[in-house]
Structure 1
């Protein structure tokens, strides 16, 4: 147990590090900042990174460049951030499916997100959208589950790889609904949606931004959004909770991280500026219209969420006998 004097010292240190004077002392304007996205362009991680990169770079007095470093189920991009100088000029846009899901499934090799990355700030936190190819004769989640129960092992579902939220979420749905579907992993959202539109796979779940335009033009059919309440920007689509499947922790969130060893003053400066950027009504409206919900979250809350969700997905990994290999 931490003794009272030590607690007081820790509190004073934290307050000092987050004080305006300390934040002003951090200067990142000397060169551009690289925000690494460890997945291909076109997905939710890429969208979230590009949503904030330009205004955040401007707020920090420099430019911020989004760089897609793909491969190895996101390990290539994560490794690039870990190997960078920890000075605030190389950051990671982290996806919950990688930071919690793939970590729980053992799919990140020696990388342990809770140990190896410093939370900076959360960008968005959005229910997933469940979709099917229009050839599947169902109109909602209940009908889809009945359809799948009558065809065990015949329905295919797509994901961006083992441990992704598409994979873990579908496995959780299989457990909750008592259905059997075949997993078809892909390397990214773009490849996945192409095959889904072509009817090569039948079911998929992802954050709304890459899927909403395809639903609106009829190329995909929406079954529900995850969670108990309807997505405020997709109010015509019922939630999973409304259809008898409540309390499924399937929200997709994207956050910014720095490599371990980055000075706290630097991460708190970036986090403070990110908070200012995310408060901009025009940015929030632009995200909302794309189906994403801006949801700022500080480093301590981010760390707690990452720990909690990694443990939760580890239970799904065991129940579904998921192997990263």
Structure 2
């Protein structure tokens, strides 16, 4: 028989374990998006936040911290306590391209952050203002060649996937085009719609609403194959620009050192959110393809991206202006 003393002793031994397994989170979670409102990362974060709140029973607050090609928000997330209460909603732009282009050596993103989940694959698209007399990439190339002094193109920021996609387009075509960086997809879109810049390379989710309203014209998608949402939109590569393919993505990360249980709990919540039929439909409606990866696969994917793009950036001699 168990004595009262034995029962109390067992309870006291179990207490620390129970405390360690105490429900997380106990208060609101901040989701840092290193781009201005309206960009693809922002759209994905705000779409998934309600599902995370429903599962984990705490608010998930999206906080936009744009600037420096995503490095401002990244630095803020990197300094956060590893308690799971600050989630970094990152992208290929600031997680891979910007560090490579900036030749940043003060930190290694791969070591600073723990992957939680890959969330979405986001196509880059070449778009123009309706006043530009081009209906496809070949016509755009021909028009640019007639413009004395070249043509400006906008992107969501220095070192963004849009920037790299634009520079790759310049190199593959030999065109005289000049990069104009913005503090996110939203501001770049505003200037494209207003005619301040004649063309831009941006993520498809940012471009769909103004394209459907006739305020911008989509010419080509930067993926290797056409995307399901816009099957009639040809790839840039199939329109004559050889060896052209740049993909973007959105993923969730936590500061390295965050307890494993929290990482796995949050990853499972993202997985459940992405598996909801409504979320998948809405993501596809805005031009993003759901792309879940668990923490280990997310970390491995980031390392593969560095291995792939490092030589390309060096060979192209792409640097921050």
TM-score, normalization by structure 1: 0.86
CA distances 1:175-202 after superposition (whole Å, capped 9, x unpaired)? 2223231111122222211211122212
Contact 2:40 2:206 (8 Å CA) reproduced: yes
Asked whether 1:93 is paired with 2:89, we answer yes
Partner of 1:226: 222
Partner of 1:15: none
Contact 2:122 2:289 (8 Å CA) reproduced: yes
Asked whether 1:126 is paired with 2:115, we answer no
The structure 2 residue matched to 1:117, chosen from 113, 116, 120, is 113
For residues 93 and 151 of structure 1, the distance between their equivalents in structure 2, rounded to whole angstroms, comes to: 39
For residues 299 and 152 of structure 1, the distance between their equivalents in structure 2, rounded to whole angstroms, comes to: 50
SS in 1 for 2:224: coil
The residue correspondences of 1:141-290 to structure 2 (distance < 5 A) are 141-151=137-147, 154-245=150-241, 248-290=244-286
- Rate the CA distance shift 1:239–1:108 in 2: closer, same or farther, 3 A: same
Deviation, structure 1 residue 32: 1.3
Partner of 1:18: none
Deviation, structure 1 residue 63: 1.9
The residue correspondences of 1:41-60 to structure 2 (distance < 5 A) are 41-60=37-56
Instruction: Tell me whether 146-155 or 52-61 shows the greater mean CA deviation.
Output: 146-155
For residues 151 and 205 of structure 2, the distance between their equivalents in structure 1, rounded to whole angstroms, comes to: 24
Instruction: Tell me whether 254-263 or 128-137 shows the greater mean CA deviation.
Output: 128-137
Deviation, structure 1 residue 230: 1.8
CA distances 1:31-51 after superposition (whole Å, capped 9, x unpaired)? 111111122111111111111
SS in 1 for 2:183: coil
Identify unmatched segments of 5+ residues in structure 2: 1-16
For residues 141 and 23 of structure 2, the distance between their equivalents in structure 1, rounded to whole angstroms, comes to: 54
For residues 77 and 193 of structure 1, the distance between their equivalents in structure 2, rounded to whole angstroms, comes to: 21
Contact 1:168 1:313 (8 Å CA) reproduced: no
Cα RMSD after superposing both structures: 2.3
Contact 1:123 1:255 (8 Å CA) reproduced: yes
- Rate the CA distance shift 1:309–1:238 in 2: closer, same or farther, 3 A: same
For residues 149 and 166 of structure 2, the distance between their equivalents in structure 1, rounded to whole angstroms, comes to: 13
For residues 52 and 285 of structure 2, the distance between their equivalents in structure 1, rounded to whole angstroms, comes to: 20
CA distances 1:243-298 after superposition (whole Å, capped 9, x unpaired)? 23465342221000000111122111111121111000011111111222111122
CA distances 1:196-255 after superposition (whole Å, capped 9, x unpaired)? 112221221222111111111111111011223221111221222332346534222100
Instruction: Tell me whether 147-156 or 41-50 shows the greater mean CA deviation.
Output: 147-156
Identify unmatched segments of 5+ residues in structure 1: 1-20
Count of matched residue pairs: 304
Partner of 1:10: none
For residues 210 and 288 of structure 1, the distance between their equivalents in structure 2, rounded to whole angstroms, comes to: 13
The structure with the largest alpha-carbon Rg is: 2
Deviation, structure 1 residue 108: 5.5
Partner of 2:8: none
Deviation, structure 1 residue 91: 0.7
Instruction: Tell me whether 221-230 or 142-151 shows the greater mean CA deviation.
Output: 142-151
Partner of 1:314: 310
